[in-house]
Amino acid sequence: MPSGLPTAPDTEIGFQPPPPSKGPLDKIRKGLVGIIPLPELGEKPVIYNPVIIVLTGYLETIKPGALDEAVHSAYQQIPQFMDKLNISDARSFLDFANDLLKWVPHENYEGKDIYDILCMFYFIIDQPPLANLQTAISPDQVGQPLTWLSSWIVVYAQLIGLFMDSPASLTKESLESFSQKNSPKYNYDEALVPEGGFRTFNQFFSRHLKPGMRPIAEPENDHVIVYPADCTYDNSVANQNIVNIESDGVIMIKNLPWTISSLLQGGEYADEFHGGVWMHAFLNTFNYHRQHAPVAGEVLEAKNIQGAAYMEVNSKCEPMRVMCGPDAPDTPGYQFLQTRGMIIIDNPVLGKVAVLPIGMAQVSSVKITIQKGDRVEKGQEISYFQFGGSDVICVFQPKAGLRVEDFVASSNNTYSKYGTILARAPQK
């Protein structure tokens, strides 16, 4: 049964229909497709992307029935939500995953449709026994090769990203669903529409803002640090959204000893953050997805770090609606293994500040727009994300003298805008 996702026609994707099921290649194809049934003569074939066929072949070889078990486990927790997407078994999940590769995103009034669909994919993939086939979110996995399934998820996410770069990913109707009237959380009226309009979904997703939309707080005051993105920050030690780095560079998160060196992938300045402060904030799918310098200074490092494409998703029930659905809590820890950018800015008052845009889910890439040796002003663009949800980390040296109480949390039920005050460093 179709997933119901709006998709581009297969002719626009460039897929060719498979041959009929009766013929000399039948035995070979059965071995390849595994749990995907073959069309009978006269039946309209489902055109599966090769990456889906590779997944079924792997799972049928390594752990037959694993996908059905995972879908069943997910269905026990959020049945009504999965019914909306017609997902009830392995075959219907594969149809859903296949449709995501040619999905033309639309949005609803609450601005949650894209978020929910991305969460749905990861909620099922994260169920046992599939979860056990993925790279564990653990410090001992830093620097280790990803498992086959985790590597497959990266490739799958990148393929979605490639499609979102194509004109087929955006239609007049789909773009209208993001308008100020139809989905106000996206704040379409703030967007700087390019000449000729948006041509692809990624171009819309990584949209620029009109001049003056985000005034920068105290641009000449180096003691004032501004939010690097439109994001949500909970100034909570208990939730470990902010953590003091130990003198040996260890960052204790959920009783696991992560290190600043692994986060910066052995960058030459990693040791200088020992004893400093680590914090992170979440960007929702509806947020503006470009990042900006939280401080002014010289760019000492600017690079991309390839990693996983993980997203933690749990079930969350809303008693008033008598319905459970997927929810991404953005629990810290995964960022140390994730695809990310890494930018270090040297400020004369605060010292070195590391900014790490973290890819999440189907974020296919982090695009860095400055380079080593550049001089950046506070609030200047430094990078942007393409399709998906995301996270941003800031790390400060002890020289900044920052304490938890110096940071300004986002207001309840809303997000902070880039350029507003994130922290005010004490005067020395």
pLDDT digits (tens, 9 = 90+) for 291-331: 999 999 999 999 999 999 999 999 988 766 667 888 888 88
Residue 155 and residue 226 in one domain: no
Prediction pTM value: 0.91
Q: Is residue 208 part of a domain?
A: no
Q: Is residue 342 part of a domain?
A: yes
Residue 101 and residue 227 in one domain: no
What pLDDT is stored for residue 157 in this prediction? 92
Q: Is residue 180 part of a domain?
A: no
Residue 331 and residue 381 in one domain: yes
pLDDT digits (tens, 9 = 90+) for 69-114: 999 999 999 999 999 999 999 999 999 999 999 999 999 999 999 9
- What is the helix (H) or strand (E) element at residue 154, kind and residue range? helix 148-164
Burial class (CB in 10 A: 0-12, 13-18, 19+), 309: buried
Q: Is residue 178 part of a domain?
A: no
Q: How far apart are CA 157 and CA 147, in angstroms?
A: 15
Domain extent at residue 128: 10-172
Confidence check: pLDDT of 45 > 80? no
Average pLDDT in the 237-249 region?
A: 92
Average pLDDT in the 357-381 region?
A: 89
Average pLDDT in the 115-120 region?
A: 93
User: Is residue 146 within 8 Å of 135, Cβ to Cβ?
Assistant: yes
Q: Is residue 304 part of a domain?
A: yes
> For a pLDDT cut of 70, what percent of the chain falls above it?
89
Q: Is residue 151 part of a domain?
A: yes
Q: Mean pLDDT in the chain? A: 90
Residue 236 and residue 353 in one domain: yes
E strands, 112-239, in order: 191-192, 208-209, 224-226
Confidence at 211, pLDDT banded by 50, 70, 90: very high
Residue 282 and residue 151 in one domain: no
Confidence at 39, pLDDT banded by 50, 70, 90: low
Residue 150 and residue 222 in one domain: no
SS3 43: coil
Q: How far apart are CA 347 and CA 351, in angstroms?
A: 5
Average pLDDT in the 211-228 region?
A: 98
Q: What strands, in cross-sheet order, belong to the sheet with 290-292?
A: 290-292, 381-385, 366-368
Q: Is residue 189 part of a domain?
A: no
Angle, alpha carbons 191-341-13 (nearest 5°): 60
Residue 16 and residue 160 in one domain: yes
Residue 166 and residue 221 in one domain: no
Residue 161 and residue 65 in one domain: yes
Residue 103 and residue 233 in one domain: no
Q: Is residue 253 part of a domain?
A: yes
CA distances from 271 to 248, 326, 355 (A): 8, 39, 16
Residue 53 and residue 137 in one domain: yes
Domain boundary among 172, 203, 236: 172
SS3 121: helix
Average pLDDT in the 414-425 region?
A: 97
Residue 100 and residue 168 in one domain: yes
- What is the helix (H) or strand (E) element at residue 138, kind and residue range? none
Domain count, the chain: 2
Confidence check: pLDDT of 27 > 70? no
User: Is residue 168 within 8 Å of 203, Cβ to Cβ?
Assistant: no
